[in-house]
Amino acid sequence: MSMDAVRLVEVGARDGLQNEALTLPVEVRVALIERLVAAGLRTLEAGAFVPPRWVPQMADSDRVLRHLGQRPGVTYTTLVPNLQGLDAALQAGCREVAVFAAASEAFSQKNINCSIAESLQRFQPVMAKALEQGVAVRGYVSCVLGCPFTGDVPVADVVRVVRELHAMGCYEISLGDTIGRGTPGKARTLIQACASEVPITALAGHFHDTYGMAVANVQAALEAGVRVFDSSVSGLGGCPYSPGATGNVATEELVYLLEGQGLATGVDLAALLEAGAFIDAALGKPSASRVANALRRAH
C-alpha cells in the first residue's frame, strides 16, 4: 500500500454494535454494512462467532454473512474465540477471521477467563486450521496503553504478545487502546517498540476516545509509519470499563483527518455521513462523531 494511502478497517457493525444496549435485527446490520461498502470501505467487521449469551448483539452473525455474500475487493471479517467459532465462520463462508488477546493479565482473566499464555495457546489450533483453509487471520491486542484494573501496561508486555501473534501467522495485529487512556507520545513509543520486532506494515491502530485523545493518537501513529486504522461509523460503541466513554474513534473523523492531509482513504464522506445517520436512527441515539455533527450543522 502506498504511503500516501491509509486503509480503514470499519468495526462499527461488530465492535461498535456489540457495545450498544440495543440488539438490532440481522436486516438492519446487513443494511448498515452495505451502506458502508457503498461509501467506499473495503475491510469491515461483520460479526462475531461467540455464544449469544455472552454477546447477544452478535447473534446470527452467520445469517449476516450469508446475506452479504462475496463481493470482489471487499473483505468481511469476524471475531472467533476458538475452533468452534472458526468452524461456524468457515461454514458461513468467511474468508478472514480475527483472534483477540490482551497485554494485561488482569484484563485477560476478566475478559476471557484465562491467562495471556493460555489464550495464545488456544489460538494455535485456530491459526493452523484457518491458514490450512486459506483464511487470513488478524490479531487484536487489548489494553496496549492502559488497563482498567492495573493502570499502566509495560511496553515490553505488549511487544511480547504482538511478536507471538505475528509468529503464529497473524498477517496484521491491531493495537487496541481499549480504555482510551493513551496519549500521542506513549502511542508513538509503543509503535516504535513493536515495529522493532515485527514489520510496521503488520501493525494497525485501534484507538478509543474516552479522554478525547483518539485522533491525536492516530496522528502520532501515522507519523510513526502506521497506515492501517480501525474506526467505527458515527463513533459507535463504548468501553464497559469506562462509564461515559465515547468508545471507538469515529470513521468520519479519521476520513476528515486523513483526506485533509492528502492521504487517500477511498471513502466518500457524504455517503459515510448517510450511513451514520441510518444507524443512529436505528439505535435511537445521536452521533458520537464531532465531525459528523459539525458537517450536518453546516449543511
Cβ–Cβ < 8 Å for 98, 14: no
Residues 87, 130: Cα–Cα separation, whole Å: 9
| Type of residue at 92 | A
Residue 273 in grid coordinates: 455521513
Residue 172 in grid coordinates: 496484521
Q: Tally DSSP H helices, then E strands, for the chain.
A: 11, 8
Element (H, E) at 118: helix 116-132
Cβ–Cβ < 8 Å for 76, 89: no
Which residue among the candidates 147, 170, 194, 239 is catalytic per the annotation?
A: 239
Q: Is 170 a catalytic residue?
A: no
| Type of residue at 115 | S
Residue with cell 507519523: 223
Question: What are phi and psi for residue 98, nearest 5 degrees?
Answer: -130, 140
Residue with cell 463462508: 93
Name 248's bridge partners: 208
> Other C-beta atoms within 10 Å of 297: how many?
7
- Please report the beta strands in 68-128, taking only residues with DSSP state E, as ranges in sequence order: 75-79, 96-102
Residues 263, 98: Cα–Cα separation, whole Å: 26
DSSP 205-237: EEEB-TTS-HHHHHHHHHHTT--EEEEBGGG--
Catalytic residue annotation? 239
